[in-house]
Amino acid sequence: MSAEQVSSLCEQLVKAVTVIMDPASTQRYRLEALKFCEEFKEKCPICVPCGLKLAEKTQTAIVRHFGLQILEHVVKFRWNSMPRLEKVYLKNNVMGLISNGTQNILEEESHIKDVLSRIVVEMIKREWPQHWPDMLKELDTLSKQGETQTELVMFILLRLAEDVVTFQTLPTQRRRDIQQTLTQNMEKIFSFLLTTLQQNVNKYRRMVGAPQERDALTTPQKTDLAQEPKAQANCRVGIAALNTLAGYIDWVAMSHITADNCKLLEMLCLLLNEPELQVGAAECLLIAVSRKGKLEDRKPLMVLFGDVAMHYILSAAQTADGEGLVEKHYVFLKRLCQVLCALGSQLCALVGSDSDVDTPANLGKYLDSFLAFTTHPSQFLRSSTQITWGALFRHEILSRDPLLLAMIPKYLRASMTNLVKVGFPSKTDSPSCEYSRFDFDSDEDFNAFFNSFRAQQGEVMRMACRLDPRTGFQMAGEWLKYQLAAPVDIGPMNSKTGEGLCSIFSPSFVQWDAMTFFSESVISQMFRTLDKEEIPVNDGIELLQLVLNFETKDPLILSCVLTNVSALFPFVTYRPEYLPQVLSKLFTAVTFEVIEESKAPRTRAVKNVRRHACSSIIKMCRDYPQLVLPNFEMLYNHVKQLLSNELLLTQMEKCALMEALVLISNQFKDYQRQKVFLEELMSPVANLWLSEEMQRILSDPEAFISYVGADNKIADPVMEDPSGLNRSRISFCVYTILGVVKRARWPTTLEEAKAGGFVIGCMPSGNPIYRNPCTEQVLKLLDNLLALISSRYNGIAVLEEAVGPFGCRIYAVCSCRRPEWRSEVSKERGRTHNNLYMPEMVAKLGETFAKALDMLEVEKNAILGLPQPLLELYDSPVYKTILERMQGFFCTLYDNCFHILGNAGPSMQQDFYTVDGLASQFLNSAFVNLNNIPDYRLRPMLRVFVKPLVLSCPSEHYETLLCPMLGPLFTYLHVRLSQKWQVISQRSILCEEDTADDNPESQEMLEEQLVRLLTREVMDLITVCCVSKKGAAEHNSSAAADGDDDEMMSTDVTPPSSAELTELGKCLMKQEDVCTALLITAYRSLSWKDTLSCQRTTTQLCWPLLKQVLTGNLLPDAVTWFFTGVLKGLQTHGQHDGCMAALVHLAFQIYEALRPRYAELKAVMEQIPEIQKESLEQFDSKLLNPTLLKVADKRRKDNFKRLIAGCIGKPLGEQFRKEVHIRNLPSLFKKAKPSLETDVLENNEDGEGLTALFEP
């Protein structure tokens, strides 16, 4: 094409680019211009001359950038089809642009430099070293032309390292070729980088006239202002050289970093004092000292503990800190702090190892500088040092060094300051606040960070006190005495709890809070470290007396006082005569009120004090029961006195005190005596719970609503609560039953249990059968508890039969396999028909309580991950309105009922599991008609009732209890989850058509997240029931049901070979409908949009379940459905490496195990997009011919993964990206000799290749 045509086309492109970038352009014109430009890049045969013309210096920066983008597009997408001469022409012109086609280094736009370096790197990735052997020489030549070219060369070398080593964005063979060649030339590259850095820094320092004391690379001269641009150019190159070094230091051989007596490290230390270069130098130094690898290779890094290096590091830190809070200096300080932390890690790794490294002479100077960062106003810098302090205090040799031991008091003194929670970004009451505004977006962010920091600090303090426990205890005592004597300073912000009381931001409270944490940490460690005779008992008792004599009406401070009482309580074991004083202090706090007989709702701070006191009593009785036992009668009488006043304590507080009594009664070690005591303790509960009125209320939902006051209309929703006493009576009964079931136990030793009458026989296995003294009392209360559950929470809607995906009929809760159960349900309908979650019953709720069955706001916030405002945590009433109190009542009552059932098995064992018709009773109460229970109520039922019941149930009761109960439950859960996920998958389609805002986005998010959490709970329950602990399920604790989504990134997902079905799992899989439900739930869940659930199910559940039925006569449709389910999972979750690896492994297992019996699987494979039919035939023939199946398992799996690549989902950002193809060049390396027994046979299936074995 002629030059005129090129010019004409370029003019059109310039106009198009101008329209695209002009903010005044209409959307239509912008789209047309964009379409024109894209079509030009894709189709025009003269892209190269047009791109070069547009990239000329005479054009505007925007046009030049577009021209260079055209050239980059050509290299990325047309290179393979370009003639060789055109490639050379393009390469020469691009190198020419670097040579003389760019503006001065200070004038050129950074995006121009970036795209120019990208073009060169794209060519290098396709041609170097095989077809472009002189590339490094050309770059070296370019760099000699001036600073502009040198900077671009630095950009090219950096981007090359990033693409090849860091991000690995090219095929394996090309990456290996380039990385190997880089490694071979690394000595030259490093020498070039260091020389460039040194020369440009020298020139820069000469021109700016660096002070003599900071000079290290050359002698400074007087500044010439006319040369300022030249100096800035040299500085730019220096920064670029440091950035490029940072891209290489992480992976090159350590010998390059430590060459010439660690010349690189020395230069970097010197540059720490150069303001313009110090951040880049610190980054490089940090990467260097963070290197892992052989200890012998890391030994030279100890040079940084030398006098010179340490001097420059410390002086740089002092200078940066002395210039006030400037963001650039603060960033530098963070890097320098990280360097010192990494140095500490290297020190801990090298000292005492086989590498024969001694403790450095400058350890004291290092520790002093490190302590300076620990005492810096920035909370972030303080926290950054904690891990290294912990490593030093833990180190076998360094922890005995006198210098480190002398640092412990200083560290503890610093910790006393650091534990004080100040530095909120919104405040100005501390120097830390200004730094926090750089580091945190909000007070909530800072609060979360500080809580984590404080916990970490507590761990390190305990390590320090393990080395010097007396010093820590002495400092804690001094601080405690100071706080007890100090006047209360509430600060400018009053608490809403009352006038003159502290808020969580008050100066006095933050000091009390910090002191309490400090004393708790160091005192507990002292008791673990010192021998009994070395404990300073007199000092401890003196402190305890001071605390017991201290009086305050401030709830926040009183809570701290109670913590100190608990921390000092171990001293009472040496002086038991102080126990009554401690109990008196705690019992006084149990009834704490700011204003006596106030009608106002208690604030959370007051409630926390009372709950704290109850917890302290329980903890004392749990940990020191023998100490408290002699005072049992006094304790019992005191509790009875408190319980006699119905309004004095909340129901939870009453039950906490009763729990403490039960814990002490366990020390009777006499079955009959403890049984009599528990009967006496529970008699008020039994009388109330078993009364005719209560039985009527608990079995009739309408009567229940009326009794608790949920049908009232309240005029004053804050103060008025006529039915509060009724609710409290029900709560008291349920709390008490739960407390007794949880705490009543037999003696831990078999001899004591036998002597006390707790053992009544032995199991066939020889294990003793224990009896719990609470059994008789609890079992007689069980019927009404089940009546409460069934009448309160369950609906009437009968689940319809569902048909499985391959023709198996799946029966839900009312399965015809259990006709006797169905008839019993019919009998129960008289009392369960109208329940609270049914529309008829909701309509009976009073206007005030229309939302009484909804979730609490705090529950919603927890599920959505929304933080609670800080002040509200302590200053607001626990429940602001009667509605919130009613919501809290329903929520707590529901959870506690199931906690009782969940604890009953471990507590009462045989006596519980042998209750007549227990399975039937559960089915008629907890599990009947689950449709009406919302997801947020179903989750805790599965977690706190069903799962503990399964885990504690002896195997002899599987057939009579668990299978009749779990079969219908799993069948129902499968149908419920399928329906929920179907709604979610259809929602995206419907939302485009439905514009009404009946279901706002926040509600949809909440519902979807609840479905995800319920799914995880269900899959976790199935795993617990079916997969043995030897398998992958072992690491999946119950708490992980709401687990951290980071787990999806795990790639170590191959299921262990020992993952087998449990006895319960085998028992469940024998029932056809239950087996079908389990398999369908497991395999269908793979395509539900919850990655965490998918990965866990894939690795732990799917294969063990399917393996159990492989020997049976599976329908072909069922087999294809299972396999298709895994492929659908890959389509949905393939973008996550962890999920993808697990699903590929599962698909491979299924195909390899079932393909020989089911040809239908091959038909499924043939439907996969972009599958290579020849490769599939080859893979299939080897699979079906066992004599050819000698390829290693990993290679077979890799081949299989390539076959199914078309159905593996991609991240959204990659789904529409044009594929870049980089061809392999002739290999630089000699090919490995083929394996005679695999490769020859593999490539010559007809056997002709055997002759190759005998060729000369």
The full DSSP string for 1040-1106 is GGG--GGGGG----PPPTT--B-HHHHHHHTSHHHHHHHHHHHHHGGGSS-HHHHHHHIIIIIHHHH
- 742 vs 419: CA distance, rounded Å: 36
Q: How high is the pLDDT of residue 227?
A: 79
Q: Which long-range contacts (CB under 8 A, 24 or more apart) does 316-319 make?
A: 316/272, 316/273, 316/278, 317/369, 317/372, 317/373, 319/273
Q: Which parts of the chain have pLDDT scores under 50?
A: 211-223, 794-834, 994-997, 1031-1057, 1234-1256
Instruction: State whether the Cα torsion 887-888-894-895 is positive or negative.
Output: positive
Q: Scan for tokens 């004090």, then name that residue.
A: 609
Instruction: State whether the Cα torsion 195-197-202-207 is positive or negative.
Output: positive
Q: What share of the chain is helix, strand, coil (3-state, %, to 5)?
A: 70, 0, 30
- 896 vs 891: CA distance, rounded Å: 9
CB-based burial of residue 470 (10 Å sphere; 0-12 exposed, 13-18 middle, 19+ buried)? middle
359 has which bridge partners? none
1027 has which bridge partners? 1061
What DSSP assignment string belongs to 279-291? HHHHHHHHHHHT-
Amino acid at 515: M
Three-class DSSP category at 802 = strand
Structural contact between residues 1094 and 1133, judged by C-beta atoms closer than 8 angstroms: yes
- 113 vs 102: CA distance, rounded Å: 8
DSSP-assigned letter for residue 163: I
Measured in degrees and rounded to the nearest 5, phi and psi for residue 761 equal 160, -170
What DSSP assignment string belongs to 529-555? HS-GGGS-HHHHHHHHHHHHH-----H
Structural contact between residues 40 and 51, judged by C-beta atoms closer than 8 angstroms: no
CA 529 to chain centre: 33
Amino acid at 476: A
Per-residue tokens: 533: 């005779």
Q: How high is the pLDDT of residue 881?
A: 79
Preceding amide of 968 cis, omega within 30:
no
Structural contact between residues 729 and 688, judged by C-beta atoms closer than 8 angstroms: yes
Q: Dihedral through CA 616, CA 617, CA 619, CA 621, nearest 10?
A: 160
- 1128 vs 896: CA distance, rounded Å: 40
Residues 6+ apart with CB under 8 A from 512: 483, 556, 557, 560
Which conformational region is residue 866 in: left (phi greater than 0), alpha (psi within -120 to 50 degrees), or beta? beta
Q: How high is the pLDDT of residue 1030?
A: 52
Quote the pTM value: 0.85
Structural contact between residues 646 and 742, judged by C-beta atoms closer than 8 angstroms: no
- 108 vs 963: CA distance, rounded Å: 75
Per-residue tokens: 28: 């239509």
The total of other beta-carbon atoms located within 10 Å of residue 800's CB is 10
Structural contact between residues 303 and 265, judged by C-beta atoms closer than 8 angstroms: yes
Three-class DSSP category at 1117 = helix
Q: How high is the pLDDT of residue 429?
A: 87
Closest C-alpha among 159, 92, 174 to residue 121: 159
Q: Across the chain, which distance is largest between two alpha carbons, in Å?
A: 110
Three-class DSSP category at 695 = helix
Give me the helix-helix angle, 651-665 and 671-689, nearest 10°: 160
Per-residue tokens: 562: 């109670």
Instruction: State the Rg of the chain over Cα.
Output: 37
Q: Buried b / exposed e across 707-732, counting CB within 10 Å, b at 16+?
A: bbbbbbebeebeeebebbeebbbbbb
- 1196 vs 1234: CA distance, rounded Å: 17
Q: How high is the pLDDT of residue 823?
A: 30
Helices (H), ranges, 771-881? 775-793, 819-832, 839-844, 857-864, 872-875
